[in-house]
A and B are shown apart, each in its own frame.
Chain A
């Protein structure tokens, strides 16, 4: 007699997994080796003693009888009555256990049987790999498909998501490079240099992971990359710093990810504008069940940016007053909420009354609407308003993604010993600043970069965990203002460059 045991972790609550597995006739829906199946005598599939009569994809026929089913212990036990395969005394048990630490499911599948002498290894392999391991993968995909179908129903881009889903099943197990579609920067320039065409995602090398994207985040840095202001992509090349999706496969030495895991990342190397991407696995973290793919794609970069700016570059405490520029933008809305959660009074600059309203809804107590009517210089006048709000004191910290045009006003808005954090430069690069200018207020100037903070894997995990906790506890509302199909990335770029967007922008493959 031989005993086969396989077990895995399914990233779904036990109720969802059991709802599928307790149905003795559900295997046609989720197991790829099962071609067709029916319960004999029209009995219900949870009737103890019922018989499922099924045909495998290779033509073999099997009759199996349900001999135990427990909704209390999540156990289903069955035996083979007859089969065109020489498996004797085959009894198998599927048992689920809840992983209380993370709301996931442990699935244990074991059997005992006799195989013809000399063919034990062949049948051990057939049962262990062909049935149980393939079954784990099949159920993972089946649950994902259901989740995607739910998401598709809830969004106006249902047709696109449906396409992504179908393609996943044709090539999920092929070795080597996988065909995909991607947005290329054909040469540096305006949005028109972006083109959508076929590409390949190589098999993951050691330390790498291959991900099927379900959502991709758009950031202003993507515009800089397209224009060639940041030399990260040599045309033709693929832009995009963040995304979320499902692990297809992993290279040697990758222990923290498994095929089927829902994951997200913000990576220092561009390449996210693609249906499938292979990248350094150390940048990729697993998603908790409560954080959706779209939310993750939208906030990995901007959310971890808010995390390090507020808790690492500066250490904001209750009672501080901070100034957030572009307060209604993707990073701005997250900074406002997180700073307010830490107990800071938040002043924010925005470019319209609508954006002021949005910023206020996200914890910005004092939105300042910048004038767009006068000369360009007037667009960045805010220091007087900041001083009025703070009764002449100024702010402890400024989170500045504007750059050059706001420089003088920023210096004027700082409190004594204040901290000016320049993390972006939408209006142009900051010029050299004489150190004496800081001396005038004992001010600190930082020019931080997210990927220096995430270069250490342990710190990256901690930053992502803090972000996910803020999301799970409802302390960060993620405003996804715009969704575009991946093929319309050029339109997405036009929209964010026109300053007409609010919150986060995502691309859907």
Chain B
């Protein structure tokens, strides 16, 4: 089991950041790497169990299922159903915490997954830095 953890500080209130990231179908609105996304079977994007089916700008197709969404704790947990990445048992959580000292937000994005040993380093880097840090950088840029 590989664990990846990335965290960052975003210069806006947790409410404002959450408003931007809570939409499970909203990846194209704020991440730099998702081209288009839709929710399967016409379900609402905040119905637990719904599946988002999105296309990366590099062409890859990913299906992810919403397992938990908490407007109380500003967090969201999802699993990967299908992806070209070569991971299994992939579960990720994005969590925001208000920083009371200043109008800022502490963001944490973590994932656990299995993969073949020779891919561990590459996938940990790609997910931790490419996806999670890339997402945080986009948020930081948006709220600058």
Enumerate chain A interface residues (CB-CB to B < 8 A): 5-9, 97-102, 104, 106, 108, 133, 136, 255-256, 258
Contacts and interface: CB of A to CB of B under 8 A. Distances in A.
A79 B106 CA distance: 26
Contacts of A100: 5-8, 128, 133
B136 A101 contact: yes
Given A97-B7, A99-B9, A256-B11, A106 B106 contact: yes
- Best-buried of A6, A97, A136, A256 by chain B (most CB within 10 Å): A97
B108 interface: yes
Interface string B73-116: 00000000000000000000000011111111010100000000
B101 A9 contact: yes
Contacts of A104: 9
Interface string B111-129: 0000000000000000010
B18 to A, nearest CB: 16
B23 to A, nearest CB: 23
A7 B5 contact: no
Contacts, number: 56
Given A7-B106, A9-B106, A106-B106, A101 B9 contact: yes
A9 B133 contact: no
A8 B100 contact: yes
A104 B104 CA distance: 14
Contacts of B133: 100-101
**Interface size of B as a range:** 10 to 19
Given A97-B106, A99-B106, A258 B101 contact: yes
Given A9-B106, A101-B133, A255-B103, A108 B97 contact: yes
B101 A99 contact: no
Given A99-B106, A101-B133, A5 B100 contact: yes
- Best-buried of B6, B7, B101 by chain A (most CB within 10 Å): B101
Contacts of A97: 7, 106, 108
B6 A9 contact: no
B6 A258 contact: no
Interface of B: 5-9, 11, 97-104, 106, 108, 128, 133, 136
A9 B97 CA distance: 12
25 contacts: A6-B100, A7-B100, A8-B99, A8-B100, A8-B102, A9-B9, A9-B101, A9-B106, A97-B106, A98-B5, A98-B7, A99-B8, A99-B9, A100-B7, A100-B8, A101-B6, A102-B8, A102-B9, A106-B7, A106-B9, A106-B99, A133-B101, A255-B11, A255-B102, A256-B11
A101 B106 contact: no
Nearest to B12: A255
A256 B100 CA distance: 15
A255 B103 CA distance: 8
A99 B100 contact: no
Given A104-B9, A106-B106, 5 more contacts: A7-B100, A100-B8, A100-B128, A101-B133, A102-B8
B102 to A, nearest CB: 5
Contact of B101 (A101, A102, A136): A136
A500 B101 CA distance: 48
B93 to A, nearest CB: 13
A382 to B, nearest CB: 45
A255 B9 CA distance: 13
A260 to B, nearest CB: 9
